[in-house]
Amino acid sequence: MAVMGYLRDRMGKIVAGVIGLSLFAFIATEAVKSGGSFFKGDNNEVGSVGDEKIPLDKFNASVEQNLAQFKQQSGQGHVTAQITSYVQDNTWNQFVSKAIFAKEVDRLGITVGGNETQDMLTGPTPNQRVMQVFTNPQTGKFDPSSVINAQNAVKSLRDDDPQKARWVDFITDIIDAKRAEKYMALIANGVYVNSLDAKDNYDAKNRLANFKYALLEYASIPDSKVSLTDADYSSYYDEHKNEFKNPQELRTIGYVSFNAAPSKADSAVVKDQLTKLLPDFIASKDDSLFVQINSETKAPLTWQHKGELDPRIDSLMLKQNPGFIYGPYLSNGSYKLAKLVETRMSPDSVKARHILIAPTGTGGIQQALAKADSLKKIIQSGKSTFAALAPMFSVDKASAVKGGELGTFGRGAMVAPFDNAVFEGKKGDLKIVTTQFGVHLIEIEDQKGSSKIVKVATVDKPLTASSATQSVAYSKAQTFLASVNKDNFDAEATKEGFKTQKADDITGIASSLPGLIDARDLVRWVFKADKGEVADQVFTVDDQYVVAHVTAIKPKGILSLDVVKDKIKPEVIKQVKGKMLSDKFAAATNGSSSIEQIAQKAGAKVTPVQNIVFANPVIPGSSAEYKPIGTVFGLPVNKISKPIIGQQGVYVLVANSFINPAPLTNAVREKEQLAGALLQRAEGQLFEALKDKDNVKDNRAKVL
């Protein structure tokens, strides 16, 4: 277990380190979304960062590695299209962030020496990722000796061994992360806050304003009374143009779907198949073999606790006697028959220790078994103790130094043969078990708790649509496709009584759409089509047949007024109303000497407000009002403001008084708080600036 034990237990975590650099992920997960827009390029490249290409095969290999790690950690044998898309996106972010930061740290000559690398592995302050991988799950403490053991284990592997390559990647990545950490430290040291900044920030949080305001709300003018002109749209668009920057190409489609889900007749057929198996299942003497022959899912029979069974039968099986059969019942898209095979009481947890003997070091499996038997007899005779023999004979050095102790663990924590031995034995038993790691001499030190466990044999048949059901739906879709073109899609759908659905702002790497879970093939077509184009095929998406057409394309960059016109209409209406209400207040100001007189003429009321701070510009009972509150703090006392356009309407304000805070006594603390906030913003802005400078191009919409 010296080699295989460490690498088996740690390599999954090591892979997680390779695919999840902490500093890169911290900065890039939010900053790097989808990169650039869809463009024509080499089909063998998923994208590029400046001159550095990201090869498709290398990218796909990383995605597969990340998916394998996800499956290992989640226990899922199958992942959904959404999970795959999520993993692809994270993998892309890792490639981009790593390439960008590698360029920067190389340019600045930032390095990590050999001693520094070893210190990150076994020093007094090891790398956080190393600590996560090599923390003892029983004690919760970091074990430096296990790192050294892993290093030694890797040295004994061939150069072409995949586990050795993973270890090299792991070390490389923690070095890269350290270099990036040093780079960010330089950025942090460049953020400076002086005493005047600290005082302004302190005043913004503590200086109080008391004022009165009159408000004419936008809602006082019905939308129907507002006539918008092209000049109104252009004015708003020109003032807010930067808000319409599109970081990646987006597309919108309209589509009609035809349901090909299993019908009641299909359900009856599958259910009947299981019903016919029922007599043979009842009479079966070998339930494991029966499952292997008749079930779609050929799962082995294992002992299970309450909560581990299918929810439909979880409580039921624990109350029945062996031989009880339930079903057919529908669960997770399959009809099932479940037979209770065996029940018994079992410990909830076990404390055990072991001595692991490697067959390769003793001349073979028989010699290893003989050696384990000899050690067992020595312990039973009282000539030596388990704790004394473990350090001398066990190749699992992590436990050997602790007398072979493995701590307390629940069922499922160990490989099956080991698990069965300790949970089916009794306290004090010495057992010899062979696993893929070698021969174990095990002592069961303690067993705690007791609860009922069961073995359940399950035969399942997936519920799928019959060819007849699929044929009817597909025929409808084909007929509709033949009748539509870019000019009559919606009209033809309405004529035939079909509902046209819409999917807005689709990204080039989307794997699902509203109502369509696994739609990658459809999305791939969408990003090859022109605006208005109708698909030349019916797409199969889950249990739906889909006919689609592209209704809009939003290119990367500043979107044109025509593209955003419908979206900005509410804000344009609000802006026009703002001018109308401002004029109303301006007219009321003539001849008025107080805010009360202005409000009376304009048909508004005056509201007093107490103790408002600049840093929290919220008017009680309303929402954040940045312009009105900012205006108050710039007004002389008793000075009436001009009409100010806000979020809820148009304001006129007058400052009654200001209450200054006590003098700032701890400028250092204020500087630290302000610098922290500035640095947090700077990190995201820095990455965006580097991304733009390095010309990140994203070709995923085309090649994935």
Cβ-based neighbours of 147, under 8 Å, separated by 6 or more: 121, 122, 126, 130, 134
If asked whether residues 366 and 428 sit together in one domain, one would say yes
Strand ranges for 487-605 from DSSP E: 501-506, 539-541, 544-554, 557-558
If asked whether residues 444 and 492 sit together in one domain, one would say no
Q: Hey, what are 215's tokens?
A: 């408000």
Short-list 402, 446, 400, 401, CA closest to 425? 446
- Domain assignment of residue 689, yes or no: no
Q: Which residues of the chain have pLDDT under 70?
A: 1-43, 75, 137-139
- Domain assignment of residue 356, yes or no: yes
If asked whether residues 161 and 222 sit together in one domain, one would say no
Domain, as residue range, for 269: 264-346+458-462
If asked whether residues 181 and 109 sit together in one domain, one would say yes
**What is d(CA 63, CA 69) in angstroms, rounded to the nearest whole number?**
10
- Domain assignment of residue 685, yes or no: no
Q: What is the pTM of this model?
A: 0.64
pLDDT at site 418: 92
**What is d(CA 698, CA 704) in angstroms, rounded to the nearest whole number?**
11
Instruction: Tell me the pLDDT tens digit for each residue of 313-358.
Output: 999 999 999 999 999 999 999 999 999 999 999 999 999 999 999 8
**What is d(CA 134, CA 14) in angstroms, rounded to the nearest whole number?**
9
If asked whether residues 163 and 57 sit together in one domain, one would say yes
Short-list 349, 486, 458, 362, CA closest to 408? 349
Among the three residues 389, 421, 448, which one is the final residue of a domain in this structure?
A: 448
Q: What is residue 527's three-state secondary structure? A: coil
Among the three residues 403, 430, 462, which one is the final residue of a domain in this structure?
A: 462
CATH number for the domain that contains residue 222 = 3.10.50
- Token pair 């009856």 is found at 268
pLDDT at site 75: 65
DSSP string, 531-557: TTPBPSS-EEETTEEEEEEEEEEE-SE
Among the three residues 524, 554, 584, which one is the final residue of a domain in this structure?
A: 554
- Domain assignment of residue 165, yes or no: yes
If asked whether residues 312 and 388 sit together in one domain, one would say no
Q: How many domains does the chain have?
A: 5
If asked whether residues 419 and 487 sit together in one domain, one would say no
If asked whether residues 416 and 513 sit together in one domain, one would say no
If asked whether residues 614 and 630 sit together in one domain, one would say yes
If asked whether residues 257 and 283 sit together in one domain, one would say no
- Domain assignment of residue 504, yes or no: yes
**What is d(CA 419, CA 417) in angstroms, rounded to the nearest whole number?**
5
**What is d(CA 504, CA 510) in angstroms, rounded to the nearest whole number?**
12
- Domain assignment of residue 124, yes or no: yes
Q: What is residue 702's three-state secondary structure? A: helix
Helix then strand then coil, % of the chain, to nearest 5: 50, 20, 30
Strand ranges for 56-193 from DSSP E: none
Cβ-based neighbours of 484, under 8 Å, separated by 6 or more: 492, 493, 534, 547, 549
If asked whether residues 182 and 48 sit together in one domain, one would say yes
CATH number for the domain that contains residue 387 = 3.10.50.40
- Domain assignment of residue 133, yes or no: yes
- Token pair 């990383």 is found at 62
Instruction: Tell me the pLDDT tens digit for each residue of 558-585.
Output: 999 998 999 999 999 999 999 999 999 9
pLDDT at site 699: 86
Query: CA torsion angle for 226, 231, 232, 238 (degrees, to 10)?
Result: 170
- Domain assignment of residue 61, yes or no: yes
If asked whether residues 101 and 177 sit together in one domain, one would say yes
